Amino acid sequence: MPNLCVSCTFNPPVITVLGAQMKDETLHLLEKKLPQLSSTSINAKSELSKFNFFNNPDHWRLTMSQHFCDELHKSQFFSTITECLLQDGWLLRASNSVSTAADDTETVKLFFTR
């Protein structure tokens, strides 16, 4: 059974996708939708953030260094990620959240199976 872990670290938002192969269309859909969901507005002149592939372990990462997400926008991120992956055949099985007081970051992991 293929597994997928989506890690969302805030703030700034960094989305990491680790595990089984995803369709390119799903990655492009996330690239298009997620920057529109942050608390900060998008600069029309700047290039939109893209997923970058990294090795060892193989994973995709989308870094939105100029953005911020409040609690409402974080939940919109999770909802959109779940919706996009559901269209690709992935089902949300579990989630985990960890807050770090030292640097005021929060990391939420969403675990999916097919």
Question: Of 93, 106, 99, whose CA–CA distance to 5 is shortest?
Answer: 93
Delimit the domains of the chain by residue range.
3-113
E-strand ranges in 2-113 read 3-10, 14-19, 52-54, 59-63, 91-100, 105-113
Contact 79, 28 (CB under 8 A): no
Per-residue pLDDT tens, the chain, 114 aa: give them. Answer: 799 999 999 989 999 999 998 899 999 999 999 988 887 766 656 677 899 999 989 999 999 988 888 899 999 999 999 999 999 999 999 999 999 888 889 999 999 999
pTM exceeds cut of 0.85 = yes
Backbone φ and ψ for 97, nearest 5 degrees, come out as: -130, 135
